[in-house]
């Protein structure tokens, strides 16, 4: 099934083509754009109307990579409902293409679409490890857990070749700075050597995000993330290596995957997860239109029911951004989901032990001290020129 043309579009507008292996169905205009691009027909198609089969000849959308010349790598936040105050995002945009990703609207800051651009036009930070070393070595830095994977996935497919995340982990290990990682990709098992060594010093914790156990649903909803089976395998391998590993059954989407919550938690526990968490679907800004478009094409029989249930959890809207309710929702449906999660966690003996990563081991390696001194000297010399 193809996307439908919105009723307010011109008469000659035609649906966007479907792109295999991508989550978004269109390049939704961002909130900063002053113009909207619409695909139209020139009337030369046989019979006077476009044939959906013609789109099958379109080449697949390729992923393009652009260097991000950022000058800092640690992002700070003061949100009261987020359990960390600093994070690292090695990439901007995410090739996983999860249709519900709340980070999609950030691509609008770059003049790009939160739709297909978000998953095909990726910015990477080649100097991330060097920048991180300088920031951690600063006398002003105070150690705390650094989160990774809270915005875009640090183990998305391009990481296999670029290894930006692996370089970051080496720096964190050298400084004894603890890290917490959330990912949907089995690629994290590549870095078991670093993570297991950090775990021995109580410096690492990993959560695998498992949204569904239904392979077909995962393929359309999270097209380039690892399959549910591979994510469970990653939990098994990480936990066997002595790395504290948990599961995030997130996001829970009422009427679509929420019935799987208990099965996800049990399968993850059986694979070795000892901790668990969940969030409900968040649809800020442009994601509302992208998700609804995806839902009506991929699950047309459930679309109205799912949207109605979401509104019942959001005070009649598709999204509310208030702290305290944006992560879990409100109302009877949200309360039932919370009660189900609590009962499953108790039955499966999850969250019995809470890990507190060690922030007292932090120390600046001598090589980093030397590099910081050299950088300051070079900076002073440049100011004299």
Residues 77-89 have pLDDT tens digits of: 988 878 889 999 9
d(CA 158, CA 178): 24
Is the pLDDT score of 6 beyond 60? no
Give the model's pLDDT for residue 44: 52
In three-state secondary structure terms, 212 is coil
Residue 61: CB atoms within 10 A of its CB come to 16
Give the model's pLDDT for residue 83: 83
d(CA 307, CA 291): 10
Is the pLDDT score of 42 beyond 60? no
Give the model's pLDDT for residue 320: 84
Q: What is the pLDDT of residues 155-183, one digit of tens each?
A: 999 999 999 999 999 999 999 999 999 99
Beta strands in 41-145 (DSSP E): 64-67, 74-76, 86-88, 91-92, 121-124
Give the model's pLDDT for residue 13: 38
Structural domains in the chain, sorted by start:
62-348 (3.80.30.30)
Is the pLDDT score of 7 beyond 90? no
Q: What is the pLDDT of residues 331-353, one digit of tens each?
A: 999 999 999 999 999 999 999 98
Is the pLDDT score of 14 beyond 50? no
Q: What is the pLDDT of residues 298-331, one digit of tens each?
A: 999 999 999 999 999 999 988 888 887 888 999 9
Percent of the chain whose predicted confidence (pLDDT) is above 70: 84
Which band of pLDDT confidence, cut at 50, 70 and 90, is reported for residue 200? very high
**3-state DSSP helix/strand/coil percent for the chain, to nearest 5?**
40, 10, 50
Which band of pLDDT confidence, cut at 50, 70 and 90, is reported for residue 280? very high
- DSSP annotation string for 321-375: --TTTTTT--SHHHHHHHHHHHHHHHHTT-SSS------SS----HHHHHHHHHH
In this structure, of 6-10, 264-268, 296-300, 318-322, the range with the lowest mean pLDDT score is: 6-10
Segment 226-240 shows an average pLDDT of 99
Give the model's pLDDT for residue 367: 85
Give the model's pLDDT for residue 34: 56
Between 235 and 373, the more confident residue is: 235
């Amino acid at each position: 099934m193809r996307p439908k043309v919105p009723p307010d579009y011109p008469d000659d507008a035609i649906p966007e083509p479907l792109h295999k292996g991508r989550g978004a169905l269109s390049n939704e205009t961002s909130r900063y754009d002053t113009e909207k691009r619409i695909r139209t027909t020139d009337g030369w198609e046989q019979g006077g109307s476009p044939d959906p089969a013609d789109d099958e000849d379109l080449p697949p959308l390729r992923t393009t990579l652009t260097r991000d010349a950022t000058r800092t790598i640690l992002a700070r936040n003061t949100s009261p409902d987020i359990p960390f105050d600093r994070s690292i995002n090695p990439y901007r945009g995410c090739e996983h293409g999860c249709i519900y990703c709340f980070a999609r609207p950030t691509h609008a800051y770059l003049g790009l679409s939160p739709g297909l651009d978000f998953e095909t036009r990726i910015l990477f930070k080649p100097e991330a490890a060097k920048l991180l070393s300088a920031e951690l070595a600063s006398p002003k830095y105070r150690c705390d857990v650094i989160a990774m994977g809270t915005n875009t996935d640090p183990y998305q497919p391009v990481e296999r070749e670029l290894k930006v995340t692996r370089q970051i982990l080496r720096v964190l290990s050298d400084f004894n700075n603890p890290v917490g990682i959330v990912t949907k990709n089995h690629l994290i098992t590549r870095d078991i050597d670093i993570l297991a060594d950090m775990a021995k010093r109580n410096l690492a914790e990993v959560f695998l995000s498992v949204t569904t156990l239904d392979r077909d649903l995962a393929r359309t909803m999270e097209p380039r993330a690892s399959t549910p089976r591979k994510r469970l395998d990653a939990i098994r391998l990480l936990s066997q290596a002595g790395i504290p590993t948990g599961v995030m059954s997130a996001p829970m989407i009422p009427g679509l995957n929420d019935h799987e919550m208990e099965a996800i938690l049990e399968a993850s526990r059986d694979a070795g997860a000892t901790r668990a968490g969940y969030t409900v679907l968040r649809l800020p800004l442009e994601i509302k239109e992208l998700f609804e478009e995806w839902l009506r094409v991929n699950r047309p029989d459930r679309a109205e029911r799912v949207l109605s249930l979401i509104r019942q959890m959001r005070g009649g809207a598709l999204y509310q951004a208030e702290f305290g309710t944006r992560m879990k929702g409100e109302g009877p449906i949200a309360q039932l989901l919370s009660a189900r999660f609590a009962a499953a966690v108790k039955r499966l003996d999850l969250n019995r032990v809470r890990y507190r990563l060690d922030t007292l081991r932090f120390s600046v390696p001598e090589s980093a001290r030397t590099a910081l001194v050299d950088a300051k000297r070079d900076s002073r010399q440049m100011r004299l020129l």
